[in-house]
A and B are shown apart, each in its own frame.
Chain A
Amino acid sequence: MSVSDATTAVTAELAARDDMIVCEGVNKWFGDFQALDGISAVIKEREVVVVLGPSGSGKSTWIRCINRLEVHQEGRIVVDGVELTNDLRNIEKIRSEVGMVFQQFNLFPHLTVLDNITLAPIWVRKKPKRETEELARSLLERVGIPEQAEKYPGQLSGGQQQRVAIARALAMEPRIMLFDEPTSALDPEMIKEVLDVMKELATSGMTMMVVTHEMGFAREVADRVIFMEDGQIVETGTPEHFFTSPEEERTRLFLSQIL
């Protein structure tokens, strides 16, 4: 695909070859309220990053800025070598390369599971229908619910719906997956089935950015943990470092409340 010269320049200047997401001094306001305050971070290819933080700290806002569901006002975000600007073509390109999984699943209730998964590959990626359906079935196999293809989302359990949502995102063959609290709306007995799928995805080498309160997942799967508060990145580190010897007072406070 063609990437404009300006973007290439930015890429060269800002991002190394294997940088998937680069944020530099990102600021965002809702009215007078500053939700993101000077966020700078780099996420490498195949890296799994877990974002932690108290409620209202801006985790969702940040992750949603990365596929432009929210628009940042200052700073730069470069995703897979393409800078997020108002250029619609860049946004289209990024959205088809970044998969997103929501807390509330957000499946399309009027379409069957299969149609939910195949819709975007057919109409956005312009892939042949039959090929896409085969892909969809193999993805359903991968997330462990091959027998639910013809059902409607409303007929599935929460855990199954979330796995369909993951399959839907994967069907676009994204290079990056974003998860915004994927297990928070689930009953405890369903959390594991979703986390298992995510772990499998991480081992397969997908670049992932995950907002979650599942500390077990962070410890086990994350390459890096980012702790946010009040729209700022407070601390970054490996899980061992983060959970055993955090440097910042605020991090320690948060961990003592949550663990």
Chain B
Amino acid sequence: MGLPMDPVAANVDAVEPWAGEAEPAQKPEEPSLSARQWVRQNLFSTPFNSVLTVVFGLFSLLVARGLLNFTFSEEREWDAVRTNLRLLFTHAYPEEQYIRIWVCVGTIVVLAGLSVGLLAGRGRGVSMKKLSLNLIGVGSAVALGVVLREPSVLKDADGEVLRDDDGVLRESFAAAMADRWAWWLAAAVLVGAGAALWHLLGDERRRKTFVPSVEMFVALVGLLVASAWVYPWGHYAFADGEFIAEPGRTVAMTTKLPWTVMWVLLIAAIATGRQLRRAGAGGGVRVALNLAWLLSPFVLYWVVLRDPALDWGRVATVDIPLAVLFAVGGAAVLWLLTDPRIGELGRIIATGLVGVAAFNWVAAFFGWYSMLQKVRLSFLLLALAALLAHNFAGERAQRLRLLGGWAAVTAVFHYMATIMNTPSTVETPTEALIGGFAVTVIVAVFTLLFSFPLGVLLALARTSKLPIFRVLATSFIEVIRGVPLITILIFCAVILKLFLPDGMSISLIAAATLGYTFFSAAYLAENVRGGLQSIRRGQFEASDAVGLTGVQRTVFIVLPQALRVSIPPLVGQMIATFKETSLLAIIGIFDLLRMANSVIPAQTQFLGVKREGLLFVCLVYWIFAYSMSKHSQRLEKKLGVGER
């Protein structure tokens, strides 16, 4: 089945360089055109093209005008969004516990800063030329927006034009957003700055100097944070039919200090990352950073959602000892099993462990003895590791690395099992402690974390030689892919509870994550299978000929190549999953969409105000999905996928 079907992947090992390290031929400098030449060549080269340019230019202007007028119409009550920012992002998360949210944001900011400083610092950034052109472009767009905006006024329910006491037309939006001249000013400043930069730089060569994008980003964020100190973004109080910026109550007022801290943290982290790189910090630091990224969702989940009054006694007497026991005992077993000289004895021990693990489940079924669920699962984990161990036998250093991996897996597993079992006492009005965008992020991140390994396993099982694996995986994948996502979600949210054994419960968010994980894993599996099939038969034969075992072949030869080929579809799948989290609204979770669609329009002061919230939701989703796809493009380029 390993025939080369994918033309992209075919011939990988014959001619092309693998890591994309071949130096591309130096592109000849394109002669730079003057603006007039460019317009003539690209827009009005023939009469027919001129007509097309004019017609579609007018069309896009009209669309832009419609959008702008919709967005910035005086009827838009953007206060519905600004007042409810907190609701949109975290729902009813108690204000006095907000420090936990900040800890999470801070952790992510620090990790991101370290990564950027450590890895991405070499990027060239944006050329001065592009920067000044962009400034001029954005400025012109703002000006165009102001020109295109229809003059419109606020009307009351009977269609009467509203005037304030002095007889001036009431423009609610304009009142809140300052006057139109401010926009003209902004446009002028932007265009002016761009033009000034262009002229200051004089000749072409200096225009090609680069502004590092990291610094630019930090500066922009800094501007935004600084603005929170002078301008009351966000939360407005509503009194006597007026919105009043109430000092001390705006979102900007309550968050400007934390945001400033975040900004400082970001700078410090980037600086630290760069320092580390300059000091020649090698693979170790990178591995540690990646591990921190990988573990952060688990820790942060606990930080946000778990009980401050956790039963530490039980944790200390039961949970931690169990985890240590399995980590150490398992490590000892694996140390023995990875000894190259162990031979037949290893097989006996591994088989014995599988027997014990299986017997625990049989005993549970008949109720012979009771045992914590996580102990049963730990035994299963250990049995699996023992079965695979002989494939990874070798010298000391190699075995020690393996034991480290085992300890990490046990730690994460026991940690998850523990926090899943401790109920929260943070009081909130709804069943779920947190909502809004935060829940979107939580579900999306955990779905990605769980569905990726599950998808790879399913793909391997579906292509395995053992019929039982093949049948199981194929049925699972085809059933999931044949059922609409929303059905799976409702099934998990409503029906799953009825199937669970006594005494076991599952929160709505966990149930939803499970549903998304199944769904996403089924599709990921098909993508990975595509990658597996693109691997040439010669790779399998060469692996066999040098004596690799099936497991070794899969781990060292097949999967690395298959995953690399499947990166573009994998990222596409991840973005799709992220967007599909908006379905959470339907199964009763107060996610971002539900806030905008039903919660805010039900507030007395914003009765029926939906469009603003929905537009905002679109914007938030777009920003994240777009930056993810940009990032994946960069990743693909770095890996040389699609350039072969």
Contact = CB atoms under 8 A, between A and B. Distances in A.
Interface stretch (A12-20, A91-99, A215-223): A91-99
A243 interface: no
Contact of A96 (B543, B547, B557): B547
Interface stretch (A21-29, A122-130, A198-206, A249-257): A122-130
B546 A119 contact: yes
Interface of A: 67, 69, 92, 95-96, 98-100, 102, 104-110, 119-120, 122-124, 126-129, 152-155, 168-169, 172
Given A69-B545, A102-B538, 5 more contacts: A67-B545, A119-B548, A129-B398, A154-B17, A155-B17
B13 A109 contact: yes
A110 B562 CA distance: 11
Given A120-B547, A153-B13, A108 B21 contact: no
Contact of A119 (B22, B391, B556, B561): B556
A153 B18 contact: yes
Contacts of B552: 123-124
Interface in B1-29: 12-19, 21-22
A95 B12 contact: no
Given A110-B564, A126-B393, A172 B547 contact: yes
Contacts of A119: 546, 548, 556
Contacts of B17: 152, 154-155
Contacts of A123: 391-392, 394, 548, 552, 556
A168 B22 CA distance: 24
A160 to B, nearest CB: 13
B478 interface: no
B133 to A, nearest CB: 38
B545 A99 contact: yes
A69 B544 contact: yes
Contacts of B22: 155
A110 B18 contact: yes
A154 B541 contact: no
The 10 A-B pairs of least Cβ separation, nearest first, read A126-B340, A106-B542, A106-B538, A120-B546, A96-B547, A152-B18, A109-B13, A154-B17, A95-B547, A100-B545
Interface in B346-400: 391-395, 397-398
A120 B548 contact: yes
B395 A127 contact: yes
B487 interface: no
B45 interface: no
Contacts of A107: 13, 542
A124 B546 contact: yes
A104 B392 CA distance: 29
Nearest to B339: A126
Given A109-B561, A154-B15, A126 B394 contact: yes
B549 interface: yes
A173 to B, nearest CB: 11
8 contacts: A96-B546, A107-B13, A108-B539, A108-B543, A123-B392, A154-B13, A155-B22, A172-B546
A123 B564 CA distance: 23
Contacts of B556: 119, 123
B560 interface: yes
B13 A105 contact: yes
Contacts of A105: 13-14
Contacts of B14: 104-105
Nearest to B343: A2
